[in-house]
Structure 1
Amino acid sequence: MRKKIIILTDTLSANGLLQNSLLNMDYEIMVSKDILTQPKDKEFYFLQNFDLIIYQQSMYSGLKESFLDNLALLNKPIVVLTFESEQVSKSKYLNNANVSFVRYPISVTDLASKLAAIFEETANRTGKNSQERAVDSSMNNEVTARITPATSTLVKIKKQYSFQLKDRTLIIDNWLIPLTKKEHQVLEHFIESDQRVFSSQALCEAIWTNAKQKNKQALLSNLINRIKQKIMEKTSIFEPFILNKKGIGYYLNQEFVALDEQNDEKVRELLVGSV
């Protein structure tokens, strides 16, 4: 595949020879003055389409460092063409393998050799980085494999919470969550019914028997969200008490286990205090 090169320049008239030379080397070439003189964020994204950027300015001393810094962030090889008469400060980019300074004018042969060397170095760096990532990934997988049995055991151990519904109060462990009449109705329907999963339509029909009631689905959603919010505010539990799976319906989280009638005395103590 032919390499794509873009020449950023503020002097289009001086690029005929350079452009023709690159075309003869079988590169795809684009020349742009606008991106250099009026750079915008979207242009930097556009530059990602090219394999190499040639930066040519009639006077390097007028180069905005911020623009070259932004180009360097693209992680693309950049060739900065400078003229013999210019004093170039390269120190800032000494550690940046992507930025190369080349004296211009340059012979076609030397330019061809330089570009070939840059593409080869880039390919080698990319290959080396890929190998390092592969080694790191392999090591991480090995470490993960070693600790997976213990980790898996820990993940499976989840705390279960006991709950009971009594006198418009939801009791989860030792926390008391006061409920409105409708909130109590919703939870009562979940707990007392033999059915485990309820469609929103079935819940709406059970809670709002008045056929004229509008927006039942929205009211139900708000009601359930309010119950969840109350539980989070009153307790330190962030597990959702009621779950909803699209296309299936609402159901109680199995991490919450209903208390049996033998715990009535304990519940009464929580509600009214010990006697």
Structure 2
Amino acid sequence: MEERILVVDDEKDICDILQFNLENEGYKVDLANSAEEALSILTDRHDLIILDVMMGGMSGFKMAERLRKEGKSVPIIFLTAKNTENDMLTGFSLGGDDYVSKPFSVKELIARVKSVLKRVRLNKKETQTLWQHEGLTIDILNNRVTIDDVEVTLTKKEFEILSLLSQTSPNVYTRSEILNQVWGDNEFVLDRTVDVHITRLRKKLGEYSSIIVNRSGFGYYLNSEPKTTE
């Protein structure tokens, strides 16, 4: 899935450079030139914030502090012209995930971005093992799907698609992303293969078939608000 990054820096040149390089790596990038602007455009769809510390108006540290007080856990990589131990400790104490000093290497920053996002993905996979919506349960740990405690018989690929969508609900997965995640690069299959498996899944889910939604021109997602347990 295409991950979305919010870059917040009052230096337009830095924003433009980061946007160009991050988009070349396949990320979606939004830009803000102040903490105030960033707060106005930040959504749950953002997977990471690259946040300058020293800006006019609200500082990056203040913005991070506000986000954490509001219970928002979006990962943050701080950018700063300062390189002191106290600043680093402040950044981490405010819930920062990494800290990069200016001037920085774009390649190094991208490596840090990939590392943080990978860690977040792994943590999600480790913690989200049970997805529930009314009488439907997707037990990711034990590879089981039940409706009102009656097991639904799915093929391996069908379960993997449903598990994939449940772990990122309500984010959209494109057909290509589903193919890459479920079939991998070693199998030659067409986008139509995903549609066929989704049709079979909907039939097997019966009254819950409508939770798998096709967003025209984008892909598929689960349209519900599950209860997640560890």
For the aligned pair, the TM-score class normalised by the smaller chain equals 0.3 to 0.5
Question: Under a length normalisation based on structure 1, what TM-score does the superposition of the two structures give?
Answer: 0.39
**Larger Rg, first or second structure (1 or 2):** 1
The structure whose RCO (Cα within 8 Å, separation 6+) is larger is 2
